[in-house]
């Protein structure tokens, strides 16, 4: 299936104001500037004028006003443009950084462990302090000054011309990405509210595991175990590949719970509620030992996704160069076309290597594979240790968030950072107990800390929480290096979020090493672990992508119709790429990921990140050693390149662009 990106599909009731600047006015502006600067204009002059003209509205002034504005604010020399760049860069860092700080504070009640949430907490958390910023900067003409002197380059131009740009030219190009559309502030705020509502819905979607009953009334999980969907449910499946009691029965029960979540047949009263017992197989609910009638959740899950889509659709007319949310996500945010991502994923999940690895897993387990074996975790060294043993250790070491924060310098030193560098990095990271799933919230201004959030029970940090914390720690290290150690603020960050996911995976793979166990080498298990993880999440990502394609093809859909479409896409991908090795025709399991609801179209970053992760690991275990670098030195060099486009970033980091071929070749070389 080839993903259509719907280049011309704009059917919105929203009416956008068009530019009032004609081609004749543009030509007159160029002529006036030529008269003002007879020694010649910079090569970017015409692009800057044309882009500013395309964004100009009658409310900004008439044609003579546009001409005068351009003449007054155009920088005719590189020296003048450099002065303007420095002023704008400093202003933008302060504006975006302060807005980020305010957003962090407003969301704390919803994001962090604490007291009972009030309705006002959700309202404040959903408020976007930056919603009006772009609109204001167009009104006061700062945005036009920026566009005029730092025009936008297309993705293909960045990828080709960028090879010969110096650091300053790259910084100028990234400044040109700031003002490419004029989305109204009310739509920005509406999107913030839709995403905030979805995030709050997901953050409280807990399953009380001690209240799950087998059909004969047994409790497989301990009292007090509460697992967030989908993250903790998935991780509990993974933990039961170790030699623990009732492992297979636990995995099957969680799989059934997941199906109920996707189908929305889960009883509403059992979500985040310890007052009811639940038998997932017969879907019966009990209170105080007696069966009770229970209403299914219905379409709540899909209402949130639909609400996000509807706002995205309203935004389409304001992005004439990227007229759908799909294009904005892939060619805009990820800077990779959707079709290229799709082909990359299909190349791996349809490969013969999948069947070879599946046969190897089947042999190891001594049984036929089940759908939940997409989360087979037996290639990780930690599966040789019972999770209870690891949890006992992590609870002793990390009874609270402060204990984890205090240990971060030592962990960084274990990865090769010097004492001073480890202390400096750790000092810019705050650790906080999360209400929902763990996440990392990066700084924007170079005075803020990045924030690590993970779940910490009253008994201390269990192994699941620790493993997530190490993943988020990797994000925080990337966020800190790529902000504080990059030479230009406008280049801070990474090409897209897959690159920060790759660093999080690199850290997460070393979680036992950071607990004091021997380092894991780049062996067959490492290769197979990355490969099988990629196979799993690529299918999930494709479902997310295909659902958004369906939404654009069916913009008037109801939540019920969307639910059926999600199930259809999940079954389609499963039957084509997963049923041949895992069986279970029409399994909906690929639709269980919570990101699909709270972070639409984010999921492709994970498999893309796994591909990058493997290429990084291959470099760390090969060329890096030949060059005499430590892991810390290699990480620092890579993640201080800044926000180049993905292909060029990878070429400079490891010598080749993003590709699944190195991973497929490595699987072939494994002793299976």
* pLDDT tens digit sequence for 324-367: 999 999 999 999 999 999 999 999 999 999 999 999 999 999 99
Judged by average pLDDT, the poorest of 316-330, 378-392, 458-472 is 378-392
Residue 293 falls inside a structural domain: yes
Q: Which structural domain, as residue segments, surrounds residue 260?
A: 206-300
306 and 226 inside one domain: no
Query: What is the pairing mode between strands 450-454 and 429-433?
Result: parallel
pLDDT above 50: residue 8: no
Whether residue 543 is contained in a domain is answered as yes
Dist CA 258 CA 280 (whole Å): 10
Residue at which a domain ends, from 490, 514, 538: 514
Query: Can you read off the two tokens belonging to residue 349?
Result: 């999940």
Going across the sheet that includes 439-441, the strands are 429-433, 450-454, 439-441
pLDDT surpassing 50 at residue 7: no
Collapsing DSSP to helix, strand or coil, 479 comes out as: helix
Whether the predicted pLDDT of 3 surpasses 70: no
Distance CA 391, CA 467 (A): 10
Domain end among 514, 534, 560: 514
Residues 528, 654: one domain?
A: yes
Provide the mean pLDDT of the chain: 93
Same domain, yes or no: 539 and 656: yes
pLDDT at 5: 42
Query: Do 554 and 580 have their domain in common?
Result: yes
Beta-carbon contacts of 182 under 8 Å, excluding residues fewer than 6 positions away, are 55, 57, 134, 135, 138, 318
Q: What is the pLDDT of residue 10?
A: 36
Instruction: Tell me which of 551 and 127 has the higher pLDDT.
Output: 551
Predicted confidence at residue 86, as pLDDT, reads: 97
Name the residue with higher pLDDT: 242 or 63. Answer: 63
pLDDT tops 80 at residue 13: no
User: Among the three residues 514, 546, 567, which one is the final residue of a domain in this structure?
Assistant: 514
For residues 419 and 461, state if they share a domain.
yes
- Is the distance from CB of 577 to CB of 587 less than 8 angstroms? no
Query: How confident is the model at residue 6, as a pLDDT?
Result: 43
Peptide bond before 230: cis, by omega within 30 degrees of 0?
A: yes
Q: What is the structure's pLDDT at 449?
A: 96
227 forms bridges with which residues in the sheet?
207
Same domain, 548 and 660: yes
What pLDDT does 426 receive?
Answer: 97
Regarding whether 530 and 506 lie in a shared domain, the answer is: no
Residues listed for the chain: 672
Measured N-to-C along each axis, helices 185-203 and 300-315 cross at an angle, to the nearest 10 degrees, of 160
pLDDT at position 383: 59
Share of the chain above pLDDT 70, in %: 97
d(CA 103, CA 129): 6
**167 domain residue, yes or no:** no
Confidence of residue 114 (pLDDT cuts 50, 70, 90): confident
Residue in 228, 218, 221 with CA at minimum distance from that of residue 598: 228
pLDDT at 2 over 80: no
| 449 and 396 in a common domain | yes
Q: Is residue 241 part of a domain?
A: yes
Burial 399-430 (b: 16+ CB within 10 A, else e): bebeebbebbbebbbbbbbeeebbebbbebbb
Residue closest to 529 by CA, chosen among 506, 559, 551: 506
| Domains held by the chain: number | 3
pLDDT tops 50 at residue 193: yes
pLDDT for 384: 67
Instruction: Give the per-residue SS3 of 31-56.
Output: HHHHHHCCCCCCCCHHHHHHHHHHHC
Taking the CA atoms of residue 359, residue 364, residue 365 and residue 367 in that order, the dihedral angle to the nearest 10 degrees is 50
Does residue 471 form part of some domain? yes
Rounded Cα distance, 280 and 273, in Å: 15
Q: Is residue 102 part of a domain?
A: no
In a domain, 144, yes or no: no
Residues 6+ apart with CB under 8 A from 511: 382, 466, 467, 470
Q: What is the pLDDT of residues 486-544, one digit of tens each?
A: 999 999 999 999 999 999 999 999 999 999 988 877 789 989 999 999 999 999 999 99
Q: How far apart are CA 543 and CA 536, in angstroms?
A: 12
Domain membership flag for residue 222? yes
Alpha-helix residue ranges (DSSP H) falling in 460-558: 463-484, 497-508, 511-514, 524-553
For 566-587, how does the pLDDT look when each residue is reduced to its tens digit (9 = 90+)? 999 999 999 999 999 999 999 9
Looking at the DSSP assignment, which residues form a beta bridge with residue 454?
Answer: 433
Return d(Cα 366, Cα 34) in angstroms, integer: 78
Do residue 505 and residue 391 come from a single domain?
Answer: yes
Looking at the fold, whether 345 and 415 belong to one and the same domain comes out as: no
Residue 265 sits in the same domain as residue 309: no
- Do 532 and 659 fall into the same domain? yes
């Amino acid at each position: 299936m080839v993903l259509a990106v719907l280049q011309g599909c704009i059917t919105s009731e929203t009416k956008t104001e068009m530019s009032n600047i004609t081609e004749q006015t543009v030509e007159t502006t160029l002529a006036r500037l030529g008269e003002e600067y007879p020694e010649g204009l910079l090569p970017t002059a015409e692009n800057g004028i044309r882009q500013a003209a395309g964004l100009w509205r009658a409310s900004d002034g008439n044609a003579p006003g546009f001409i005068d504005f351009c003449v007054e604010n155009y920088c005719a020399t590189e020296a003048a443009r450099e002065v303007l760049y420095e002023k704008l860069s400093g202003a933008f860092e302060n504006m975006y950084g302060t807005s980020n700080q305010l957003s962090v504070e407003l969301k704390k009640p919803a994001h962090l462990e604490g007291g009972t949430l009030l309705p006002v907490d959700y309202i404040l958390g959903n408020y976007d302090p930056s919603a009006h910023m772009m609109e204001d900067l167009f009104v006061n003409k700062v945005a036009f000054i920026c566009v005029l002197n730092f025009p936008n380059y297309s993705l293909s131009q960045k990828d080709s011309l960028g090879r010969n740009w110096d650091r300053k030219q790259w910084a100028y190009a990234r400044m040109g990405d700031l003002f490419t559309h004029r989305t109204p502030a009310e739509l920005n705020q509406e999107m913030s509210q839709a995403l905030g509502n979805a995030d709050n819905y997901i953050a409280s979607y807990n399953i009380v595991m001690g209240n799950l009953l087998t059909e004969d009334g047994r409790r497989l999980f301990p009292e007090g175990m509460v697992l967030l969907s989908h993250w903790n449910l998935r991780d509990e499946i993974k933990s039961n590949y170790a030699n623990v009691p009732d492992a297979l029965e636990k995995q099957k029960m969680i799989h059934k719970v997941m199906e109920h979540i996707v189908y929305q047949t889960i009883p509403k009263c059992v979500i985040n509620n310890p007052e009811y017992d639940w038998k997932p197989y017969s879907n019966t609910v009990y209170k105080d030992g007696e069966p009770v009638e229970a209403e299914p959740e219905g379409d709540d899950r899909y209402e949130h996704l639909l609400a996000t889509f509807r706002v995205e659709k309203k935004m389409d007319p304001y992005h004439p160069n990227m007229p759908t949310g799909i294009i904005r996500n892939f060619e805009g945010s990820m800077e990779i076309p959707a079709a290229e991502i799709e082909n990359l994923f299909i190349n791996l999940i349809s490969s013969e290597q999948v069947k070879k690895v599946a046969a190897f897993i089947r042999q190891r387990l001594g049984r036929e594979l089940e759908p939940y074996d997409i989360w087979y975790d037996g290639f990780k060294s930690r599966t040789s240790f019972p999770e209870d043993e690891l949890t006992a250790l992590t609870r002793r070491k990390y009874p609270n968030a402060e204990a984890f924060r205090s240990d971060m310098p030592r962990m960084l030193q274990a990865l090769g950072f010097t004492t001073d560098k480890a202390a400096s990095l750790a000092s810019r990271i705050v650790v906080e107990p999360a209400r929902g799933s763990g996440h990392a919230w990066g700084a924007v201004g170079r005075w803020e800390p990045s924030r690590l959030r993970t779940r910490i029970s009253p008994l201390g940090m269990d192994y699941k929480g620790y493993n997530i914390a190490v993943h988020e720690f990797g994000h925080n290290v990337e966020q800190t290096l790529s902000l504080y150690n990059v030479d230009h603020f406008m280049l801070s960050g990474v090409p897209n979020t897959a690159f920060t996911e790759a660093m999080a995976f690199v850290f997460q793979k070393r979680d036992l090493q950071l607990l004091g166990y021997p380092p894991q080498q780049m062996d067959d298990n490492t290769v197979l672990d990355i490969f099988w993880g990629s196979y799993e999440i690529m299918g999930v990502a494709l479902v997310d992508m295909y659902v958004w394609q369906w939404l654009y093809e069916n913009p008037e859909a109801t939540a019920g119709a969307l639910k059926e479409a999600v199930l259809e896409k999940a079954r389609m991908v499963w039957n084509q790429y997963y049923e041949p090795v895992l069986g279970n025709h029409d399994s909906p399991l690929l639709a269980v990921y919570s990101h699909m609801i709270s972070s639409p179209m984010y999921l492709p970053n994970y498999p893309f990140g796994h591909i990058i992760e493997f290429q990084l690991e291959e470099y760390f275990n090969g060329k890096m050693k030949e060059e005499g670098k430590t892991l810390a030195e290699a990480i620092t060099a890579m993640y201080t390149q800044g926000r180049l486009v993905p292909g060029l970033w990878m070429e400079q980091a490891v010598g080749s662009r993003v590709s699944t071929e190195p991973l497929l070749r490595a699987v072939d070389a494994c002793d299976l």
